[in-house]
Chain A
Amino acid sequence: MSRAPQMRTPMRRVRGLGAAHSGTGHFWHQRVTSAAGVVLTIALVVIAISLLGRNHAAAVQILGSSPVAVIMLLFIINSAYHMWIGMQEIILDYVHEDKLKLLALMANTFFVVAVAAAACFAILKLSFGV
Protein backbone atom coordinates (compact mmCIF):
# COMPACT_ATOMS: atom_id res chain seq x y z
CA MET A 1 0.00 0.00 0.00
CA SER A 2 1.32 3.41 -0.86
CA ARG A 3 1.54 5.97 1.91
CA ALA A 4 0.43 9.56 1.76
CA PRO A 5 3.26 12.06 2.16
CA GLN A 6 3.95 12.89 5.79
CA MET A 7 4.99 16.23 7.20
CA ARG A 8 6.41 14.64 10.35
CA THR A 9 9.72 12.87 10.38
CA PRO A 10 9.09 9.25 11.38
CA MET A 11 10.72 8.49 14.72
CA ARG A 12 12.41 5.42 13.33
CA ARG A 13 14.26 7.61 10.86
CA VAL A 14 15.43 9.87 13.65
CA ARG A 15 16.57 6.80 15.56
CA GLY A 16 18.42 5.82 12.39
CA LEU A 17 20.35 9.02 13.04
CA GLY A 18 20.05 10.65 9.66
CA ALA A 19 21.79 10.37 6.33
CA ALA A 20 25.27 10.00 7.80
CA HIS A 21 24.01 7.72 10.63
CA SER A 22 25.74 9.88 13.20
CA GLY A 23 22.92 11.83 14.82
CA THR A 24 22.85 15.43 16.00
CA GLY A 25 26.35 15.38 17.49
CA HIS A 26 27.90 16.92 14.40
CA PHE A 27 25.42 19.79 14.51
CA TRP A 28 26.66 20.75 17.95
CA HIS A 29 30.33 20.18 17.10
CA GLN A 30 29.88 22.46 14.10
CA ARG A 31 28.78 25.22 16.51
CA VAL A 32 31.63 24.61 18.94
CA THR A 33 34.25 24.66 16.17
CA SER A 34 32.62 27.80 14.75
CA ALA A 35 32.88 29.67 18.04
CA ALA A 36 36.50 28.61 18.48
CA GLY A 37 37.07 29.45 14.81
CA VAL A 38 36.29 33.12 15.32
CA VAL A 39 39.08 33.56 17.85
CA LEU A 40 41.55 31.36 15.96
CA THR A 41 40.85 33.07 12.63
CA ILE A 42 41.60 36.50 14.09
CA ALA A 43 44.81 35.07 15.57
CA LEU A 44 45.78 33.56 12.19
CA VAL A 45 45.33 36.89 10.42
CA VAL A 46 47.55 38.63 13.00
CA ILE A 47 50.23 35.94 12.64
CA ALA A 48 50.11 36.05 8.83
CA ILE A 49 50.46 39.83 8.76
CA SER A 50 53.36 39.73 11.23
CA LEU A 51 55.22 37.42 8.80
CA LEU A 52 54.81 39.62 5.74
CA GLY A 53 58.02 40.98 4.32
CA ARG A 54 60.22 38.82 6.56
CA ASN A 55 62.82 36.40 5.26
CA HIS A 56 62.74 32.63 5.76
CA ALA A 57 64.82 32.61 8.94
CA ALA A 58 62.54 35.14 10.63
CA ALA A 59 59.42 33.29 9.45
CA VAL A 60 60.77 30.03 10.89
CA GLN A 61 61.54 31.70 14.20
CA ILE A 62 58.06 33.22 14.51
CA LEU A 63 56.09 30.18 13.30
CA GLY A 64 58.14 27.86 15.50
CA SER A 65 57.87 29.91 18.69
CA SER A 66 55.73 28.15 21.29
CA PRO A 67 52.67 30.45 21.47
CA VAL A 68 52.45 30.86 17.68
CA ALA A 69 52.99 27.14 17.04
CA VAL A 70 50.24 26.21 19.52
CA ILE A 71 47.81 28.70 17.95
CA MET A 72 48.64 27.39 14.46
CA LEU A 73 48.10 23.78 15.61
CA LEU A 74 44.78 24.74 17.19
CA PHE A 75 43.70 26.58 14.03
CA ILE A 76 44.59 23.62 11.81
CA ILE A 77 42.94 20.98 14.03
CA ASN A 78 39.81 23.06 14.71
CA SER A 79 39.41 23.97 11.03
CA ALA A 80 40.01 20.39 9.96
CA TYR A 81 37.21 19.04 12.13
CA HIS A 82 34.91 21.95 11.21
CA MET A 83 35.47 21.61 7.47
CA TRP A 84 35.17 17.83 7.64
CA ILE A 85 31.69 18.12 9.17
CA GLY A 86 30.80 20.96 6.77
CA MET A 87 31.83 19.08 3.64
CA GLN A 88 30.04 15.96 4.88
CA GLU A 89 26.88 18.06 5.14
CA ILE A 90 27.38 19.36 1.61
CA ILE A 91 27.93 15.84 0.27
CA LEU A 92 24.83 14.49 2.03
CA ASP A 93 22.78 17.32 0.50
CA TYR A 94 23.82 16.71 -3.08
CA VAL A 95 25.01 13.10 -3.44
CA HIS A 96 22.24 10.56 -3.03
CA GLU A 97 23.53 7.48 -4.81
CA ASP A 98 24.80 5.10 -2.12
CA LYS A 99 28.15 4.07 -3.59
CA LEU A 100 29.01 7.57 -4.76
CA LYS A 101 28.03 8.97 -1.38
CA LEU A 102 30.29 6.49 0.40
CA LEU A 103 33.18 7.34 -1.92
CA ALA A 104 32.68 11.09 -1.49
CA LEU A 105 32.53 10.76 2.31
CA MET A 106 35.73 8.71 2.27
CA ALA A 107 37.46 11.20 -0.02
CA ASN A 108 36.43 13.98 2.37
CA THR A 109 37.98 12.14 5.32
CA PHE A 110 41.20 11.30 3.44
CA PHE A 111 41.62 14.88 2.18
CA VAL A 112 41.06 16.50 5.57
CA VAL A 113 43.25 14.06 7.51
CA ALA A 114 46.08 14.27 4.96
CA VAL A 115 46.13 18.08 4.74
CA ALA A 116 45.81 18.53 8.50
CA ALA A 117 48.48 15.93 9.31
CA ALA A 118 50.94 17.43 6.84
CA ALA A 119 50.35 20.97 8.12
CA CYS A 120 50.59 19.93 11.79
CA PHE A 121 53.77 17.98 11.09
CA ALA A 122 55.30 21.08 9.48
CA ILE A 123 54.49 23.20 12.52
CA LEU A 124 55.93 20.60 14.90
CA LYS A 125 59.07 20.36 12.76
CA LEU A 126 59.47 24.14 12.84
CA SER A 127 58.89 24.20 16.56
CA PHE A 128 61.26 21.40 17.58
CA GLY A 129 63.92 22.39 15.07
CA VAL A 130 65.41 20.09 12.47
Chain B
Amino acid sequence: MAELEASTNQGARRARPLSPHLQIYRPMLTMMMSIVHRITGAALYFGMLLLAWWVIAAAAGPNAYANFERFIGSLIGQLLLFGYTWALMHHMLGGIRHLIWDTLHGLEPAERETLTLTTIVGSIALTLAIWVIGYLAMGGPR
Protein backbone atom coordinates (compact mmCIF):
# COMPACT_ATOMS: atom_id res chain seq x y z
CA MET B 1 0.00 0.00 0.00
CA ALA B 2 1.84 2.99 -1.28
CA GLU B 3 -0.25 5.46 0.69
CA LEU B 4 0.55 3.77 3.99
CA GLU B 5 4.21 3.28 3.22
CA ALA B 6 4.56 6.91 2.31
CA SER B 7 3.89 7.85 5.90
CA THR B 8 6.55 5.58 7.27
CA ASN B 9 10.23 6.46 7.38
CA GLN B 10 11.06 3.80 4.90
CA GLY B 11 8.48 4.91 2.40
CA ALA B 12 9.52 8.53 2.60
CA ARG B 13 12.97 7.65 1.35
CA ARG B 14 11.65 6.18 -1.85
CA ALA B 15 11.62 8.25 -5.02
CA ARG B 16 8.02 9.21 -5.61
CA PRO B 17 6.37 11.32 -8.29
CA LEU B 18 6.28 14.97 -7.27
CA SER B 19 2.72 15.40 -8.51
CA PRO B 20 -0.22 13.11 -9.23
CA HIS B 21 0.03 11.54 -12.64
CA LEU B 22 -2.34 11.81 -15.61
CA GLN B 23 -4.70 8.98 -14.70
CA ILE B 24 -5.69 10.81 -11.52
CA TYR B 25 -7.48 13.57 -13.39
CA ARG B 26 -10.85 13.57 -15.09
CA PRO B 27 -10.11 14.20 -18.77
CA MET B 28 -10.84 17.81 -19.63
CA LEU B 29 -11.14 19.61 -22.92
CA THR B 30 -8.07 21.73 -22.20
CA MET B 31 -6.04 18.58 -21.49
CA MET B 32 -7.09 16.94 -24.73
CA MET B 33 -6.30 20.13 -26.64
CA SER B 34 -2.83 20.27 -25.11
CA ILE B 35 -1.95 16.91 -26.64
CA VAL B 36 -3.69 17.81 -29.91
CA HIS B 37 -1.49 20.91 -30.12
CA ARG B 38 1.57 18.68 -29.81
CA ILE B 39 0.24 16.19 -32.39
CA THR B 40 -0.59 18.92 -34.91
CA GLY B 41 2.85 20.46 -34.30
CA ALA B 42 4.50 17.12 -35.08
CA ALA B 43 2.26 16.62 -38.12
CA LEU B 44 3.17 20.08 -39.45
CA TYR B 45 6.84 19.24 -38.83
CA PHE B 46 6.62 16.43 -41.38
CA GLY B 47 4.13 18.41 -43.47
CA MET B 48 7.03 20.76 -44.18
CA LEU B 49 8.19 18.05 -46.61
CA LEU B 50 5.03 18.66 -48.64
CA LEU B 51 5.68 22.39 -48.78
CA ALA B 52 9.32 21.76 -49.75
CA TRP B 53 8.26 19.34 -52.50
CA TRP B 54 5.84 21.96 -53.84
CA VAL B 55 8.39 24.79 -54.22
CA ILE B 56 11.21 22.46 -55.31
CA ALA B 57 8.93 21.02 -58.02
CA ALA B 58 8.06 24.52 -59.19
CA ALA B 59 11.77 25.37 -59.40
CA ALA B 60 12.66 22.10 -61.13
CA GLY B 61 10.38 22.62 -64.14
CA PRO B 62 7.02 21.76 -65.76
CA ASN B 63 7.44 17.97 -65.53
CA ALA B 64 8.31 17.94 -61.83
CA TYR B 65 5.47 20.38 -61.17
CA ALA B 66 3.02 18.17 -63.08
CA ASN B 67 4.11 15.21 -60.94
CA PHE B 68 3.47 17.18 -57.79
CA GLU B 69 0.09 18.36 -59.07
CA ARG B 70 -0.88 14.79 -59.97
CA PHE B 71 0.03 13.60 -56.47
CA ILE B 72 -1.68 16.45 -54.63
CA GLY B 73 -4.75 16.05 -56.84
CA SER B 74 -5.05 12.33 -56.05
CA LEU B 75 -7.29 11.09 -53.27
CA ILE B 76 -4.36 10.56 -50.88
CA GLY B 77 -2.92 13.94 -51.82
CA GLN B 78 -6.21 15.71 -51.21
CA LEU B 79 -6.67 13.98 -47.85
CA LEU B 80 -3.10 14.94 -46.84
CA LEU B 81 -3.63 18.53 -47.92
CA PHE B 82 -6.97 18.73 -46.11
CA GLY B 83 -5.36 17.31 -42.97
CA TYR B 84 -2.45 19.73 -43.33
CA THR B 85 -4.86 22.66 -43.68
CA TRP B 86 -6.77 21.66 -40.56
CA ALA B 87 -3.60 20.96 -38.56
CA LEU B 88 -2.20 24.35 -39.57
CA MET B 89 -5.40 26.21 -38.63
CA HIS B 90 -5.86 24.32 -35.37
CA HIS B 91 -2.21 24.72 -34.37
CA MET B 92 -2.28 28.42 -35.28
CA LEU B 93 -5.42 29.12 -33.23
CA GLY B 94 -4.08 26.92 -30.40
CA GLY B 95 -0.85 28.90 -30.61
CA ILE B 96 -2.73 32.20 -30.33
CA ARG B 97 -4.51 30.73 -27.28
CA HIS B 98 -1.11 29.91 -25.76
CA LEU B 99 0.11 33.43 -26.46
CA ILE B 100 -3.01 34.86 -24.75
CA TRP B 101 -2.41 32.58 -21.76
CA ASP B 102 1.21 33.74 -21.66
CA THR B 103 -0.10 37.23 -20.87
CA LEU B 104 -2.02 35.71 -17.91
CA HIS B 105 -5.38 36.41 -19.56
CA GLY B 106 -8.18 33.93 -20.19
CA LEU B 107 -7.12 31.51 -17.46
CA GLU B 108 -10.38 31.42 -15.46
CA PRO B 109 -12.17 28.05 -15.75
CA ALA B 110 -15.00 29.34 -17.94
CA GLU B 111 -12.65 31.50 -20.04
CA ARG B 112 -10.21 28.73 -20.82
CA GLU B 113 -13.05 26.41 -21.83
CA THR B 114 -14.43 29.10 -24.14
CA LEU B 115 -11.01 29.74 -25.68
CA THR B 116 -10.52 26.02 -26.21
CA LEU B 117 -13.93 25.55 -27.83
CA THR B 118 -13.21 28.54 -30.05
CA THR B 119 -10.04 26.79 -31.21
CA ILE B 120 -11.95 23.67 -32.26
CA VAL B 121 -14.89 25.41 -33.92
CA GLY B 122 -12.66 28.08 -35.46
CA SER B 123 -10.19 25.61 -36.94
CA ILE B 124 -12.97 23.60 -38.60
CA ALA B 125 -14.67 26.75 -39.90
CA LEU B 126 -11.40 28.18 -41.28
CA THR B 127 -10.45 24.88 -42.90
CA LEU B 128 -13.80 24.57 -44.66
CA ALA B 129 -13.70 28.24 -45.71
CA ILE B 130 -10.21 27.82 -47.20
CA TRP B 131 -11.28 24.74 -49.16
CA VAL B 132 -14.45 26.33 -50.48
CA ILE B 133 -12.47 29.38 -51.62
CA GLY B 134 -9.84 27.03 -53.02
CA TYR B 135 -12.33 25.11 -55.11
CA LEU B 136 -13.86 28.33 -56.38
CA ALA B 137 -10.34 29.55 -57.30
CA MET B 138 -9.74 26.30 -59.22
CA GLY B 139 -12.32 27.56 -61.68
CA GLY B 140 -9.80 30.26 -62.64
CA PRO B 141 -7.52 30.29 -65.71
CA ARG B 142 -5.53 27.11 -66.32
Q: Is A14 an interface residue (CB 8 A)?
A: no
Q: Is B41 an interface residue (CB 8 A)?
A: yes
Residues in chain B near residue A118, CB distance under 8 A: 52, 56
Complex Cα gap A80–B95 (Å): 16
Complex Cα gap A56–B15 (Å): 62
Output the nearest chain B residue to A80 by Cβ-Cβ distance: B48
Q: Is B142 an interface residue (CB 8 A)?
A: yes
Interface residues as binary, A71-99 with B (CB distance below 8 Å gives 1, 0 otherwise): 01000100110010011001000000000
B13 and A2 contact, CB distance less than 8 A: yes
One of A4, A52, A56, A90 near B58 (C-beta < 8 A): A56
Complex Cα gap A31–B100 (Å): 11
Output the nearest chain B residue to A87 by Cβ-Cβ distance: B45
B55 and A119 contact, CB distance less than 8 A: yes
Output the nearest chain A residue to B42 by Cβ-Cβ distance: A90
A38 and B96 contact, CB distance less than 8 A: yes
Give the size category of A's interface with B: 35 or more
Instruction: Tell me the smallest distance from the CB of B104 to a CB of chain A, in Å.
Output: 14
B12 and A4 contact, CB distance less than 8 A: yes
One of B48, B60, B140 near A79 (C-beta < 8 A): B48
Of the A-B pairs whose beta carbons lie under 8 Å apart in the complex, a sample of 22, sorted by A's number, is A5-B18, A7-B18, A31-B102, A37-B92, A37-B95, A45-B88, A50-B137, A52-B138, A53-B141, A56-B66, A76-B51, A79-B48, A83-B41, A87-B42, A87-B45, A118-B56, A119-B51, A119-B56, A122-B55, A122-B59, A123-B55, A126-B59
